[in-house]
Amino acid sequence: MFEIKKICCIGAGYVGGPTCSVIAHMCPEIRVTVVDVNESRINAWNSPTLPIYEPGLKEVVESCRGKNLFFSTNIDDAIKEADLVFISVLSNPEFLAEGTAIKDLKNPDRVLIGGDETPEGQRAVQALCAVYEHWVPREKIFTTNTWSSELSKLAANAFLAQRISSINSISALCEATGADVEEVATAIGMDQRIGNKFLKASVGFGGSCFQKDVLNLVYLCEALNLPEVARYWQQVIDMNDYQRRRFASRIIDSLFNTVTDKKIAILGFAFKKDTGDTRESSSIYISKYLMDEGAHLHIYDPKVPREQIVVDLSHPGVSEDDQVSRLVTISKDPYEACDGAHAVVICTEWDMFKELDYERIHKKMLKPAFIFDGRRVLDGLHNELQTIGFQIETIGKKVSSKRIPYAPSGEIPKFSLQDPPNKKPKV
């Protein structure tokens, strides 16, 4: 069997970088070169400060960089010298979750490899299997034809996104009835046929994969004349958009139907904790809706650089003219962001937000002081926060009848909860 000694990976982003770093780490006899046209990104991979944040990634890269792991802009030579080129040779879809990518790569549920059903294609499949067998048990390596492999990737992310949209739809019903979506999720998750994964209600899913892969599935169904199937999967995206708009509308209505010139602290900008990735983050959309209403946003995230936040919010589909420079301030810590704010909005479930000194925050906020928990990270602190004096709104639950009640106004809403926003960020 042909033995792979040199691997080239085209693309040094959130997938290529971590994936090939782990391959180099687990296969010291294989030379792995990651190439990209972006010179600044390659320079970052070769520096002490990596271009992406992922728990455990820095240690993996430093263990083999310069030995059998290399980052380069010399794409042509890397391809010519390689025995295997990721992306262009085989279908080897990744099933990584940002924040746990290194753990997922070292101990995957499965490795899926698709290839042509020709002798040459099957030899290539077996050669790549041999690479993964350095650390993955053979029974976890699943081989298919190319179409099955590619559709498996789309379907996996579509099913996960569907579960999030499903529980988010129930969260709206819980808020209307007095049920607690966390209790409902626990109850249905105890059913072994359903399971308890991806039943966490929130302000909506983000990241580079879920929306992209669901929309790819929608497009594929439309192209193959399967309109009913396309409409079914489109609803997953529509529900996610609705959840974001609903949360933003709830903020506006709770703040006495206007946020114009009010200071709102946005805690968290990454699409989820333990990553610096902001692609399709719900924070972008919430910020957009609040900026459109004239709110002054003070944003803090422990891992997202200031420049990235400004770039995301300055996109033509998100803001207009000088909106960002007028309405957005990037804060260096959460206390600075909350100082003098009318409301605190938690958009990312960073663990540190559970440990903040909320009595200190409350003293510096304008009254009445609101907390809008879009990630249910403060569930265990509600009594304490109410004692301090906060008015609390959270996803899928009425916190207390003693608080200033949330009631959607009978007037025409600031933006329609049914219609998609006029401008959609392409992040």
Cite the annotated binding site for NAD(+) by residue number. 11-16, 36, 41, 98, 209-212, 279
93 preceded by a cis bond (ω within 30 of 0): no
Alpha carbons within 13 A on the beta-carbon side of 353: 29
Alpha carbons within 13 A on the beta-carbon side of 326: 13
Selecting among 9, 20, 27, 209, the annotated active-site residue is 209
**Residue 293 token pair:** 């209403």
Q: Where are the alpha helices (DSSP H) in 255-394?
A: 282-292, 306-313, 323-327, 334-338, 358-364, 382-388
148: exposed, middle or buried (C-beta count within 10 Å: 0-12, 13-18, 19+)?
middle
User: CA 281, CA 318: separation in Å to the nearest integer?
Assistant: 12
In 10 A of CB 417, how many CB atoms? 13
- Told to judge if 209 belongs to the known catalytic residues of this protein, a careful annotator would answer yes
Helices (H) and strands (E) counted in the chain, each on its own, are 16, 12
**Residue 94 token pair:** 């990744």
Helix (H, G, I), strand (E, B) or coil at 114: strand
- Give binding residues for substrate as ranges: 94-98, 153-157, 193, 200-206, 271-272, 375
Give the closest residue to 161 by CA, choosing from 105, 213, 110. Answer: 213
Strand order through the sheet with 343-346: 328-330, 296-300, 263-267, 343-346, 370-373, 391-394
Return the active site residues: 209
